[in-house]
């Protein structure tokens, strides 16, 4: 980290409680500690605290929609539960401090337990480092593994992270793409506040609201671009806009029309939105054909004007003059929902209204270009909708790809196999006679061959009941395990073990998986580096196996059997490994 980042000083007020008005002064932060010096040197509220005692931080959030911003507060809590509250003049100061503390805290968390994070052989950017630290902090299991292997010297930092590229990528991409959408609430919620005495109503606008107004009402957007600041000031513009809104809320089309006739600029806001209508006409061509009611209209001869029966609702009694100024809530709601669905194309960190307006029109141009409809997709969609799925034979059998996310699941299901192999057969399997003498088997085979010779192949060759029985016997353990896990997870053997043993076992399990992952990724052993790595890994594994044995020894007698069952698959892996690696060794050497 560069020098400029190693310390920081901001003006702030120190508060002992939230209600406390606070002592003004200076807050300094270094990598090790933070200090507060009050302006008034006599004040007793001095603070000098090392970061390693600090557990975490809380802060207030900026809410641009609120008229009065909340105070910018930062609250640092120490490990004893005490807290240090600082109020900043503005949110950018708060942000700086927050980021700084965040960095220091994440670092100190690592620092206290681990001397080096970076490895000599790789140059990491700070962002990457932070990401890794964050991941470690979020996932205690990962942190344990990291501590055990990287710090224990079995794996290098790079090796450890190389198998977790996905995790890193995902985190990184998440950051880049997440973008806040529009609020679901309608804009009509901005109600003006009147002071009660005069006839004046005050509206307050934030960039957020302005962007939403522009997005939902392209006419206002265009008017802003053409009127401000040449023709009128921004304030006048919005005054006119809200005047129009208030007029509309009276729902009196005649009055609206009259007002619009008097004021040409105001009329822009009062008229129906022509841009929207054009846009609608353009969009209608790309609409899903299964909902295209416009095409019906074009086909429907009873809807010639004045033909058919006038039904409730289909009648519109308005003079065309006033029609221009009529607007209803349904349209607004539809428009709002469409804009929310489209999502936000512009990031609002812009303070300036003009900048927002321009950014929005730029993003619209881009959208306009990417406007290509594909007939093929339409057709595919229709045929997909028409087909009756359940009348088809299913072409591909429903298979779930194997994916062991949580080792615990795998662990639990293994335990049933272990039970079975130990001869502890479940009831239901016992009826099947498993042992046949060679004679009997041979005789049975001969019988069936001669039966086929006589009668030819029967259809079906194997009686369904028998097939079912065999299948059932073979899959019994799988289904019962599933049953056990699915129905009452608390009854799994793992959970009957003492908590400490369970955790240890689980930890060893994840460790072995981690090591195995590296172990197998090293093959073929083409370099001495890999060879060394593998042997290191093997040592580490055998250590774990020893620990497993220890666990077996330490648990109480009634659990011992179960633990050994649990441990067995891990051992099996080991024996398999060691035999295999020996072969490989030989190959490399040979």
Partner 1 sequence: MKFQIEDVTVYFPYDHIYPEQYSYMIELKRALDAKGHCLLEMPTGTGKTIALLSLITSYSLFKPESPIKLIYCTRTVHEMEKTLAELKLLHKYQKEHLGAQARILAIGLSSRKNLCVNPRVVAAENRDSVDAACRKLTASWVRAMAAENPNVPTCEYFEDYERAGGEALLPPGVYTLQDLRAFGREKGWCPYFLARRMVQFANVIVYSYQYLLDPKVAGIISKELPKESVVVFDEAHNIDNVCIEALSVSVRRQTLEGATRNLNRISQEIDRFKATDAGRLRAEYNRLIEGLALRGNLPTTDIWLANPALPDDILKEAVPGNIRRAEHFLHVLRRLVQYLRGRLETENVEKESPVGFLVSINNHAGIDQKTLKFCYDRLHSLMLTLEITDTDEFLHIQTICDFATLIGTYARGFSIIIEPFDERMPHIPDPVLQLCCHDASLAIKPVFDRFQSVVITSGTLSPIDLYPRLLNFHPVVSRSFTMSLTRDCICPMVLTRGSDQLPVSTKFDMRSDPGVVRNYGKLLLELVSVVPDGIVCFFVSYSYMDGIINAWNDHGILKDIMQHKLVFIETQDVVETTLALDNYRRACDCGRGAVFFSVARGKVAEGIDFDRHYGRLVIMFGVPFQYTLSKILLARLEYLRDNFQIKEGDFLTFDALRQAAQCVGRVIRSKADYGMMIFADKRYIFPNSFSITLTSKILNSLIKG
List of residues contacting partner 1 (CB under 8 A): 184-186, 188-189, 280-281, 283-284, 287-302, 304-317, 328-331, 333-334, 337-338, 340-341, 375, 378-379, 382-383, 385-393
Residue 299 CB coordination number (10 Å): 8
**CB-wise, 125 or 386, nearer to partner 1?**
386
**CB-wise, 340 or 565, nearer to partner 1?**
340
Residue pair 220/275 in contact (Cβ under 8 Å)? The answer is: no
**CB-wise, 140 or 314, nearer to partner 1?**
314
Q: At its nearest, how many Å lie between partner 1 and the CB of residue 247?
A: 17
Q: Measuring CA to CA, how many Å separate 111 from each of 100, 145, 249, 272, 427?
A: 16, 16, 62, 64, 56
**CB-wise, 114 or 327, nearer to partner 1?**
327
**CB-wise, 189 or 262, nearer to partner 1?**
189
**CB-wise, 80 or 301, nearer to partner 1?**
301
Rounded distance between C-alpha atoms, residue 114 and residue 135, angstroms: 16
Residue pair 7/95 in contact (Cβ under 8 Å)? The answer is: no
Among 518, 587, 574, smallest CA distance to 546 is for 574
**CB-wise, 184 or 370, nearer to partner 1?**
184
Torsion angle defined by CA atoms of residues 223, 225, 230 and 232, in that order, rounded to the nearest 10 degrees: 40
Q: At its nearest, how many Å lie between partner 1 and the CB of residue 251?
A: 9
Q: At its nearest, how many Å lie between partner 1 and the CB of residue 65?
A: 14
Residue pair 274/241 in contact (Cβ under 8 Å)? The answer is: no
Q: At its nearest, how many Å lie between partner 1 and the CB of residue 287?
A: 5
Q: At its nearest, how many Å lie between partner 1 and the CB of residue 302?
A: 5
**CB-wise, 80 or 394, nearer to partner 1?**
394
Q: At its nearest, how many Å lie between partner 1 and the CB of residue 257?
A: 16
Rounded distance between C-alpha atoms, residue 551 and residue 549, angstroms: 5
**CB-wise, 389 or 465, nearer to partner 1?**
389
Q: Which tokens sit at 28?
A: 């300094």
Rounded distance between C-alpha atoms, residue 493 and residue 481, angstroms: 11
Rounded distance between C-alpha atoms, residue 479 and residue 476, angstroms: 5
Q: At its nearest, how many Å lie between partner 1 and the CB of residue 318?
A: 10
**CB-wise, 190 or 565, nearer to partner 1?**
190
**CB-wise, 66 or 546, nearer to partner 1?**
66
Among 361, 352, 349, 366, smallest CA distance to 225 is for 361
Q: Which tokens sit at 290?
A: 């299964």
**CB-wise, 195 or 312, nearer to partner 1?**
312
The per-residue DSSP string of 510-547 comes to HHHHHHHHHHHHT-S--SHHHHHHHHHHHHHHHHHHHH
Residue pair 168/161 in contact (Cβ under 8 Å)? The answer is: yes
Q: At its nearest, how many Å lie between partner 1 and the CB of residue 375?
A: 6
Q: At its nearest, how many Å lie between partner 1 and the CB of residue 200?
A: 23
Q: At its nearest, how many Å lie between partner 1 and the CB of residue 390?
A: 5
Q: At its nearest, how many Å lie between partner 1 and the CB of residue 140?
A: 31
**CB-wise, 97 or 209, nearer to partner 1?**
209
The DSSP bridge partners found for residue 570 are: none
Residue pair 54/82 in contact (Cβ under 8 Å)? The answer is: no
Q: At its nearest, how many Å lie between partner 1 and the CB of residue 271?
A: 16
Q: Which tokens sit at 226?
A: 């053409």
**CB-wise, 391 or 400, nearer to partner 1?**
391
Q: Which tokens sit at 121?
A: 């052989």
| Sheet strand arrangement including 33-38 | 47-50, 33-38, 23-30, 7-15, 83-88, 72-78, 54-59
Q: At its nearest, how many Å lie between partner 1 and the CB of residue 483?
A: 22
Residue pair 147/113 in contact (Cβ under 8 Å)? The answer is: yes
The per-residue DSSP string of 12-77 comes to EEEESSSSS--EEEEEEEESSEEEEEESSTT-S--EEEEGGGEEEEEE----TTSSSPPPEEEEEE
Residue 74 CB coordination number (10 Å): 22
Helix or strand run (H / E) with residue 193: strand 193-194
Q: Measuring CA to CA, how many Å separate 310 from each of 56, 293, 450?
A: 70, 19, 85
Q: At its nearest, how many Å lie between partner 1 and the CB of residue 53?
A: 41
Q: At its nearest, how many Å lie between partner 1 and the CB of residue 304?
A: 7
Relative orientation angle of helices 207-216 and 218-227, to the nearest 10 degrees: 110
**CB-wise, 295 or 470, nearer to partner 1?**
295
């Amino acid at each position: 980290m560069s020098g400029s980042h190693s310390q920081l000083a901001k003006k702030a007020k120190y508060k002992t409680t939230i209600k406390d008005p606070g002592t003004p002064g200076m807050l300094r932060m270094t990598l090790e500690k933070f200090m507060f010096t009050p302006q008034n040197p006599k004040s007793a509220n001095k603070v000098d605290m090392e970061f390693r005692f600090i557990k975490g931080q809380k802060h207030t959030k900026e809410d641009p929609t609120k008229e009065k911003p909340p105070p910018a507060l930062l609250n640092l809590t120490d490990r004893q539960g005490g807290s240090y509250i600082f109020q900043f003049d503005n949110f950018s100061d708060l942000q700086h401090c927050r980021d700084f503390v965040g960095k220091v805290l994440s670092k100190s968390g690592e620092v206290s337990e681990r001397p080096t994070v970076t490895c000599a052989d790789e140059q990491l950017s700070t962002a990457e480092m932070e990401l890794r630290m964050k991941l470690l902090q979020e996932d205690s299991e990962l942190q344990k593994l990291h501590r055990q292997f990287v710090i224990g010297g079995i794996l290098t930092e790079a090796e450890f992270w190389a198998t977790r590229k996905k995790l890193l990528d995902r985190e990184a991409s998440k950051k880049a793409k997440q973008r806040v959408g529009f609020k679901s609430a309608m804009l009509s919620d901005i109600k003006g506040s009147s002071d009660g005495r005069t006839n004046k109503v005050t509206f307050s606008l934030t960039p957020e609201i302005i962007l939403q107004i522009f997005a939902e009402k392209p006419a206002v957007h265009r008017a802003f671009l053409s009127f401000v600041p040449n023709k009128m000031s921004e304030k006048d513009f919005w005054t006119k806009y809200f005047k129009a809104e208030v007029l509309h809320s009276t729902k009196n089309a005649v009055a609206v029309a009259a007002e619009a006739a008097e004021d040409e600029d105001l009329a822009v806001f009062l008229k129906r939105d022509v841009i929207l209508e054009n846009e609608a006409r353009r969009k209608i061509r790309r609409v899903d054909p299964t909902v295209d009611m416009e095409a019906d209209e074009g086909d429907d001869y009873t809807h010639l004007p004045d033909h058919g029966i006038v039904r409730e609702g289909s009648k519109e009694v308005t003079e065309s003059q006033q029609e221009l100024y009529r607007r209803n809530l349904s349209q607004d709601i539809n428009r709002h929902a469409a804009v929310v669905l489209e999502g936000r194309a512009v990031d609002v960190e812009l303070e300036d209204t003009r900048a927002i307006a321009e950014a929005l029109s730029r993003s619209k141009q881009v959208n306009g270009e990417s406007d290509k409809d594909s007939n093929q997709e339409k057709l595919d969609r229709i045929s997909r909708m028409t087909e009756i799925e359940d009348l088809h034979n299913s072409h591909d059998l429903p298979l779930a790809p194997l994916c062991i996310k949580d080792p615990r699941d795998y662990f639990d299901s293994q335990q049933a196999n272990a039970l079975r192999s130990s001869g502890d057969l479940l009831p239901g399997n016992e009826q099947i006679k498993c042992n046949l003498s060679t004679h009997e088997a041979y005789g049975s085979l001969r019988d069936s061959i001669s039966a086929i010779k006589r009668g030819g192949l029967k259809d079906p060759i194997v009686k369904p009941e028998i097939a079912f029985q065999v299948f059932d016997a073979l899959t019994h353990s799988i289904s019962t395990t599933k049953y056990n896990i699915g129905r009452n997870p608390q009854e799994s053997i793992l959970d009957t073990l003492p908590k400490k043993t369970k955790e240890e076992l689980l930890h060893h399990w994840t460790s072995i998986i981690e090591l195995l992952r590296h172990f197998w990724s090293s093959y073929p052993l083409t370099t001495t580096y890999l060879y060394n790595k593998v042997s290191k890994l093997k040592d580490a594994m055998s250590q774990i196996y020893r620990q497993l044995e220890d666990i077996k020894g330490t648990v109480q007698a009634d659990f011992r059997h179960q633990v050994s069952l649990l441990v067995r698959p891990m051992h099996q892996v080991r024996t398999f490994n060691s035999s295999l690696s020996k072969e490989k060794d030989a190959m490399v050497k040979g």
